[in-house]
């Protein structure tokens, strides 16, 4: 029986190929994700391993507040003496490793991709030097710099050129003394680095008299573990010592967590594509089993038992799954570079050195692809066994179309509701982890709606088919009728497209709501005329910019804003807060005060006063007059007295706002997140803005000046970029579902060969035949799109419910949804090209005598 | 009864396959079908009778020779023109698979006109519907009709566009005796009352006996061209051939 199965596959090569293609696409994405993330992992591993080579122990600041960006405040340089005196230390060197020194390119703008850090290191002893110099030598004077090879390539810098750096202490020009690489990485994932002498590195980063790390080499006979233990014992509490290996591992761990998120996100999209593919596989097998009724009946009369029929169908599925998985795995290796390109387009440059194909990648791809195919074919295989032997003897026997049991509708409804309930439970935190419950709920909803859709198809087909009939006459009429003659088939085909479109429209609706809410928050909260932020959109800017801009004529005040983190007194993770310039904050920010509070709470705020976000206050049971204690990054505890509460719908401020008098304690002495600028009442806005821009460009080239509208636009742009990436990834699922349409059409046309012959005989032109097929595809695609858009709206409403309190207002972007429908229709037209051509080329006579 | 030829074939040959495997299905057939005549083409299996009908109807092209329908030489027409000619000048009735399952009886009847984008002649439609006796079945789908009813719908569809010629391929091959009688009666009346030219391929001596003229094909040649007197007469004709 297995031989029959394989011969069947070969005889129907095209169908086999189209079905396998669905598996290929899903598996491709899984394999591609693994290959890409493994490759990135290894690149970083190499970088970290390389940079700690020759380092037996590392001394760094003990992490008190776990910052989201992983940064640590520096410690006092005097510690170096203590380290050198520690037993077992042969040599120790303090150095700077900073993430805030940008290289200014030839165009006057910072070099590097949006999200990647701008690193700066201090040069030092050769034994600790992690760099490979591709050209030149380390910096020897304070006027020299080594920059990374990638930046030099991109910007055309050579040894001997002058290059400008911008750090916390402003900008300065240096002569390039050499070019370097970290490890073997050609690209640092958009990051740049600059290596300066220790003194200059300390100066430009604003860390004079401080180090970020001390690298230590052990004396002969002292193990790294011993060394680290000795250091730990002799050093004060604010720093920690670990072995070079431990430090490397810790860094890898940090990166793995970051990449882990990316991996999970990509795998989710791959899962969506595979889920869609399983619909396609199920549908293809259902149709082919129905078409082969006579063949199965014949086998039954010849004495094949039911089990043998199942084996035949499952063997076919297994072969298709294996073939598809294998091809998908190969395609995935190539696809990893497509993903990389996609991220590059999103300005997320990822480091890559060589391609890593782990055993896990191969196993997961093949097992998942194959088992999913077999699973999807199981139900159709069971149906094949219900063919009575006598069916083979009857003229034109077809398997009775499975009656649309009420039970099925019931199950569909129950599943759809259950799925939504599951999503709701996940959203409102009743289930943990919520994301999993949400995703699982969505999957259950999709299956429920797919089960229901045979009932939904006729009315929906009428909705889109009727206008088509009116516009396109008989071909439209026949196409419409063709979509409803086997509602289950159309339903499964449309359901595959529905999934992709539901997610696309959900994302579109949600993003529109997010954009609207952010705009509203900016409108309501920020009253400043100008807004200064890092041009990368998230890094800190030098706090000194506030003073410089404040001195510009026509500027009334420039207030720095520091958005940072605190820990709880017991050292556990706390939350976010904003440190304000109490004198000016009320002029540039508008807080929605509760309980009779007013802006005087800001202007008269003492170093130990705090105003709380309503949510935080309620959560902690804090009221005006109460006190609470936080732990800052420097290890200092601060006691605050609550002076008021405000409502901050968008969580712009964080848990509380306090005076920036304590900025240094929070490790933010020299940093600001933003500077909010208020202009004088009767000044020429444009000319003052021009002067502000000049000032910023001169001293702080990493800063971007924006007004309120520009701020909203740039956030919108970032959001759109993210959306573009999400759409790109969902596109694959949509492509898979288009193959579904192609496959279903091809199979249906095959089934209706004689009908097509008849149509041609009575005077249907080839063009009209093509139209009939095309319209059928368009109607099917539109059914999927309408269902998808409806589900997308439902999902968006559901998911935004818990956010409503935080000011999330849902707006349905009807224009976008309409565009989606049009795109779906176009996709239908594209999917129909092949099948329509085939149908129109049928030889009339052969078609008429076809059995 | 006879007039100028509506369909005429000259020296038509049709070869299937190539080289050693080549089969000569038609071997120099020349024949005219005058206006208003009801002709039956008979012959044993493999005699080429179906091939002849396909070529006469423009469904297939001859290897050599020419065919003209209503004065139009088919050999000069491309696929699109042939399709139009079929739509306008030719009606078809087949043995199986005669109707589109997704359309109602009425839609099936009007199909050739709606495909051509022409408005139906309501008078002719009513006349045909009454003639085939399907007034109360117009909204039904083919699956809801009996075999005889389906074939009556097919005949009405074949005649709706007032074709120059109606071709029928074993129109009663799949029907019981009563239904066959009805269909033959309908075809006879179409010829008598509407002056419809009809060409049918059949095995059934009874069908041939209803026609005005019987052609008998053997090995791709016309070996008999006679007027049938009765079913027995047709059988005699066949015996002579054998």
Three-state SS string over A707-748 comes to CHHHHHHHHHHHHHHHHHHHHHHHHHHHHHHHHHHHHHHHHH
Would the CB atoms of A766 and B114 count as touching at under 8 Å?
A: no
Q: Is the pLDDT of residue A49 over 90?
A: no
Three-state SS sequence of A752-773? CHHHHHHHHHCCCCHHHHHHHH
Would the CB atoms of B83 and A478 count as touching at under 8 Å?
A: no
Q: Are strands A192-196 and A118-122 parallel, antiparallel or unpaired?
A: parallel
> Which of B177, B114, B179, B186 has the alpha carbon at shortest distance from B156?
B186
CB atoms within 10 A of CB A491: 30
Which alpha helices (H) appear in A428-543, and where do they start and end?
434-485, 487-525
Would the CB atoms of A755 and B79 count as touching at under 8 Å?
A: no
Q: Which residues of A are less than 8 Å from B201 in CB distance?
A: none
User: What is the Cα A169 distance to its own chain's centre?
Assistant: 34
| B83, B98, B100: residue with CB nearest A478 | B100
A589: DSSP letter: B
Q: Is the pLDDT of residue B1 over 50?
A: no
CB atoms within 10 A of CB B181: 15
Which phi and psi (to 5°) does residue B34 adopt? -70, 160
Chain A residue with CA closest to B57: the answer is: A761
The whole-angstrom separation of Cα A347 and Cα A718 is 10
The whole-angstrom separation of Cα A213 and Cα A200 is 16
In this predicted model, which residue has the larger pLDDT, A649 or A851? A649
How many residues are given for chain A?
Answer: 851
Q: Which candidate in A761, A766, A770, A847 is best for mutational testing of the B interface (most B CBs within 10 A)?
A: A761
Q: Determine the pLDDT at residue A378.
A: 86
> Which of A164, A228, A201 has the alpha carbon at shortest distance from A702?
A164
**CA B10, B16, B22 angle in degrees (round to 5)?**
115
> Which of A730, A742, A729 has the alpha carbon at shortest distance from A280?
A742
The whole-angstrom separation of Cα A588 and Cα A33 is 45
- Is A117 in contact with A191 (CB distance < 8 Å)? yes
ipTM of this model?
A: 0.74
Q: Is B231 on the interface with A (CB under 8 A)?
A: no
Q: Determine the pLDDT at residue A23.
A: 85
Q: Is the pLDDT of residue A834 over 90?
A: no
Tens of pLDDT, residue by residue over A75-120, are 999 999 999 999 989 999 999 988 888 898 888 778 875 566 788 9
Q: What is the rounded average pLDDT for all residues in chain B? A: 87
Q: Determine the pLDDT at residue A396.
A: 45
Q: Is the pLDDT of residue A783 over 60?
A: yes
- Token representation of residue A371: 């088992």
Per-residue pLDDT averaged across A475-492, rounded? 85
The whole-angstrom separation of Cα B236 and Cα B242 is 10
Q: Which residues of A are less than 8 Å from B164 in CB distance?
A: none
- Is A88 in contact with A227 (CB distance < 8 Å)? yes
Q: Which residues of A are less than 8 Å from B79 in CB distance?
A: 766
Q: Which residue has the tokens 């600059």?
A: A194
The whole-angstrom separation of Cα A489 and Cα A468 is 21
Would the CB atoms of A762 and B111 count as touching at under 8 Å?
A: yes
Q: Determine the pLDDT at residue A678.
A: 92
| B54, B103, B112: residue with CB nearest A763 | B112
Q: Which residue has the tokens 């207030």?
A: A559
- Is A746 in contact with A18 (CB distance < 8 Å)? yes
CB atoms within 10 A of CB B121: 14
Going from the C-alpha of A278 to that of each of A28, A84, A281, A805, the distances in angstroms are 14, 64, 5, 38
Q: Determine the pLDDT at residue B2.
A: 47
Tens of pLDDT, residue by residue over B146-180, are 888 999 999 999 999 889 999 998 888 878 888 88
Q: Is B101 on the interface with A (CB under 8 A)?
A: yes
Q: Is the pLDDT of residue A38 over 70?
A: yes
Would the CB atoms of B157 and A758 count as touching at under 8 Å?
A: no
Would the CB atoms of B102 and A485 count as touching at under 8 Å?
A: yes
- Token representation of residue A673: 């997140």
Chain A residue with CA closest to B98: the answer is: A758
Q: Determine the pLDDT at residue A161.
A: 92
Instruction: Read off the pLDDT band of B56 (50, 70, 90).
Output: very high
Inter-axis angle of helices A708-751 and A753-761, nearest 10: 90
| Chain A contact residues (CB < 8 Å to B) | 396, 473-475, 477-478, 481-482, 485, 754-755, 757-766, 768, 844-845, 848
Tens of pLDDT, residue by residue over A301-340, are 666 777 777 888 888 889 989 999 999 999 988 888 887 7
Q: Determine the pLDDT at residue A285.
A: 82
Which phi and psi (to 5°) does residue A387 adopt? -70, 120
Tens of pLDDT, residue by residue over A585-635, are 888 988 888 887 888 888 889 999 999 998 899 988 999 999 999 999 888
Q: Determine the pLDDT at residue A37.
A: 83
Chain A residue with CA closest to B107: the answer is: A474
Q: Determine the pLDDT at residue A397.
A: 42
A194 pairs with which residues across the strands? A120, A147
The whole-angstrom separation of Cα B152 and Cα B93 is 9
Instruction: Read off the pLDDT band of A380 (50, 70, 90).
Output: confident
- Is A189 in contact with A349 (CB distance < 8 Å)? yes
Going from the C-alpha of A697 to that of each of A545, A708, B24, the distances in angstroms are 10, 20, 91
Q: Determine the pLDDT at residue B8.
A: 92
The model carries a pTM of: 0.76
- Token representation of residue A820: 């989606």
How many residues are given for chain B?
Answer: 242
- Express as a percent the part of chain A with pLDDT over 70: 92
Q: Are strands A671-672 and A627-631 parallel, antiparallel or unpaired?
A: unpaired
Least confident interval from A256-265, A483-492, A560-569: A256-265
Q: Is B112 on the interface with A (CB under 8 A)?
A: yes
Tens of pLDDT, residue by residue over A128-187, are 888 888 888 999 999 999 998 888 888 889 999 999 998 888 889 999 999 988 766 666
Q: How far apart are the first and last CA of chain A?
A: 24
Q: Which residue has the tokens 């093509």?
A: A770
- Is the CA virtual torsion A329, A331, A334, A339 positive or negative? negative
Q: Is the pLDDT of residue A259 over 50?
A: yes
Per-residue pLDDT averaged across B92-97, rounded? 79
Tens of pLDDT, residue by residue over B178-201, are 888 889 999 999 999 889 999 999
The whole-angstrom separation of Cα A131 and Cα A193 is 11
Contacts of A16 (CB under 8 A, 6+ apart): A9, A10, A320, A323
Chain B residue with CA closest to A475: the answer is: B115
Would the CB atoms of B80 and A485 count as touching at under 8 Å?
A: no
Q: Determine the pLDDT at residue A189.
A: 65
Per-residue pLDDT averaged across A37-62, rounded? 84
Q: How far apart are the first and last CA of chain B?
A: 30
Going from the C-alpha of A840 to that of each of A287, A772, B111, the distances in angstroms are 21, 10, 18
Q: Determine the pLDDT at residue B32.
A: 93
> Which of A691, A735, A671, A346 has the alpha carbon at shortest distance from A550?
A691
The whole-angstrom separation of Cα A663 and Cα A685 is 31
Q: What is the rounded average pLDDT for all residues in chain A? A: 84
Per-residue pLDDT averaged across A426-436, rounded? 75
């Amino acid at each position: 029986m297995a031989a029959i199965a394989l011969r069947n596959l070969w005889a129907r090569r095209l169908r086999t190929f189209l079905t396998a293609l669905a598996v290929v696409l899903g598996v491709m994405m899984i394999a591609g994700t693994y290959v890409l993330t493994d490759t990135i992992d290894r690149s970083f591993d190499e970088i970290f391993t390389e940079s700690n080579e020759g380092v037996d122990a590392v001394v760094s600041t003990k992490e008190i507040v776990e910052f989201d960006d992983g940064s640590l405040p520096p410690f006092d340089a005097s510690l170096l003496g203590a380290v050198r005196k520690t037993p077992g230390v042969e040599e120790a060197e303090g150095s700077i490793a900073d993430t805030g020194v940008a290289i200014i390119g030839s165009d006057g703008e910072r070099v590097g991709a949006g999200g990647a850090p701008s690193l700066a290191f201090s040069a030092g002893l050769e034994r600790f030097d992690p760099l490979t110099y591709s050209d030149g030598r380390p910096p020897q004077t304070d006027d020299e710099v080594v920059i990374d090879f990638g930046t030099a390539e991109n910007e055309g810098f050579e040894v001997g050129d002058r290059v400008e750096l911008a750090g916390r202490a402003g900008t300065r020009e240096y002569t390039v003394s050499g070019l370097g690489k970290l490890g073997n990485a050609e690209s640092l994932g958009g990051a740049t680095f600059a290596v300066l002498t220790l003194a200059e590195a300390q100066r430009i980063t604003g860390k004079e008299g401080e180090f970020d790390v001390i690298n230590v080499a052990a004396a002969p006979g002292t193990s790294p573990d011993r060394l680290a233990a000795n250091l730990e014992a002799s050093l004060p509490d604010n720093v920690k010592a670990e072995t070079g290996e431990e430090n490397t591992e810790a860094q890898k761990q940090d990166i793995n967590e970051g990449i882990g998120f990316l991996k999970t996100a990509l795998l989710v999209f791959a899962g969506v594509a595979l889920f869609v593919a399983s619909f396609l596989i199920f549908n293809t097998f259902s149709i082919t089993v129905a078409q082969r009724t006579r063949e199965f009946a014949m086998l039954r009369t010849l004495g094949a038992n039911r089990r043998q029929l199942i084996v035949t169908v499952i063997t076919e599925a297994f072969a298709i799954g294996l073939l598809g998985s294998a091809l998908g795995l190969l395609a995935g290796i190539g696809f990893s570079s497509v993903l990389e390109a996609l991220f590059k387009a999103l300005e997320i440059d990822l480091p890559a050195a060589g391609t890593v194909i782990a055993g896990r990648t191969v196993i997961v791809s093949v097992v998942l692809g194959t088992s999913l195919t077999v699973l999807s074919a199981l139900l159709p295989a069971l149906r094949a066994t219900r063919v009575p032997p006598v069916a083979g003897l009857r003229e034109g026997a077809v398997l009775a179309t499975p009656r649309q049991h009420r039970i099925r509708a019931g199950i569909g409804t129950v599943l759809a509701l259950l799925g939504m309930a599951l999503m709701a439970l996940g959203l409102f935190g009743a289930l943990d982890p919520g994301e999993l419950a949400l995703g699982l709920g969505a999957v259950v909803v999709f299956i429920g709606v797919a089960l229901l859709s045979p009932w939904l198809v006729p009315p929906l087909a009428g909705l889109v088919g009727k206008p088509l009939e009116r516009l396109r006459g008989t071909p439209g009429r026949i196409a419409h009728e063709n979509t409803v003659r086997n509602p289950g088939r159309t339903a499964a085909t449309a359901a595959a497209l529905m999934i992709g479109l539901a997610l696309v429209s959900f994302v579109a609706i949600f993003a529109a709501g997010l954009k609207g809410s952010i705009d509203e928050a900016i409108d309501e909260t920020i009253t400043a005329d100008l807004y200064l932020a890092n041009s990368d959109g998230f890094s800190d800017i030098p706090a000194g910019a506030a003073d410089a801009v404040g001195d510009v004529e026509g500027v009334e005040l420039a207030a720095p804003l520091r958005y940072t983190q605190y820990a709880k007194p017991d050292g556990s993770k706390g939350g976010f807060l904003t440190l304000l310039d109490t004198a000016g904050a009320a002029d540039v920010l508008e807080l929605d005060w509760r309980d009779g509070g007013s802006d005087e709470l800001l202007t008269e705020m003492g170093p130990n006063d705090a105003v709380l976000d309503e949510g935080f206050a309620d959560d902690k049971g804090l009221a005006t007059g109460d006190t609470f204690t936080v732990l800052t990054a420097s290890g200092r505890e601060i006691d605050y007295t609550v002076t008021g509460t405000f409502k901050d719908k968008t969580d712009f401020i964080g848990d509380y706002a306090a005076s920036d008098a304590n900025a240094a304690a929070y490790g933010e002495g020299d940093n600001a997140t933003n500077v909010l600028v208020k202009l004088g009442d009767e000044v020429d806005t444009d000319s003052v803005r021009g002067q502000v821009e000049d000032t910023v460009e001169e001293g702080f080239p990493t800063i971007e000046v924006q007004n309120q509208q520009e701020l909203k636009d740039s956030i919108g742009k970032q959001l759109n970029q993210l959306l573009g990436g999400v759409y790109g990834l969902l596109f694959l699922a949509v492509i898979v579902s288009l193959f579904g349409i192609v496959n279903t059409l091809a199979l249906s046309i095959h089934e209706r060969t004689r009908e097509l012959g008849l149509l041609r005989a009575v005077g249907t032109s080839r063009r009209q035949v093509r139209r009939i097929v095309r319209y059928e595809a368009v109607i099917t695609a539109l059914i999927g799109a309408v269902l998808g858009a409806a589900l997308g709206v439902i999902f968006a409403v559901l998911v935004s419910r818990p956010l409503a309190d935080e000011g999330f207002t849902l707006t349905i972007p009807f224009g976008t949804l309409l565009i989606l429908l049009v795109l779906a229709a176009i996709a239908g037209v594209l999917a129909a090209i092949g099948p329509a051509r085939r149908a129109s080329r049928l030889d009339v006579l052969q078609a008429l005598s076809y059995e | 009864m006879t007039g100028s030829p509506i369909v005429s074939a000259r020296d038509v040959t049709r070869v299937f396959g190539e080289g050693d495997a080549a089969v000569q299905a038609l071997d120099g057939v020349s024949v005219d079908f005058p206006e208003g005549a009801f002709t039956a083409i008979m012959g044993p299996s493999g005699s080429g009778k179906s091939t002849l009908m396909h070529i006469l109807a423009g469904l297939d092209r001859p290897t050599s020779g020419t065919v003209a329908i209503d004065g139009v030489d088919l050999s000069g027409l491309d696929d699109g023109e042939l399709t139009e000619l079929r739509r306008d000048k030719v009606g078809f009735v087949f043995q199986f698979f005669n109707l589109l399952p997704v359309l109602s009886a009425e839609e099936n009847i009007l199909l050739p006109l709606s495909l051509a984008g022409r408005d139906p002649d309501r008078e002719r439609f009513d006349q045909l519907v009454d003639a085939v006796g399907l007034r109360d079945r117009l909204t039904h789908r083919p699956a809801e009709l009996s075999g005889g009813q389906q074939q009556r719908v097919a005949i009405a569809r074949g005649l709706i566009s007032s074709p120059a010629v109606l071709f029928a391929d074993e129109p009663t091959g799949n029907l019981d005796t009563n239904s066959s009688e009805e269909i033959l009666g309908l075809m006879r009346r179409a010829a008598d009352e509407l002056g419809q030219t009809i060409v049918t391929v059949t095995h059934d001596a009874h069908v041939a006996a209803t026609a005005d003229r019987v052609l008998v094909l053997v090995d791709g040649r016309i070996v008999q061209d006679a007027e049938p007197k009765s079913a027995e007469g047709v059988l005699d004709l066949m015996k002579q051939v054998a």
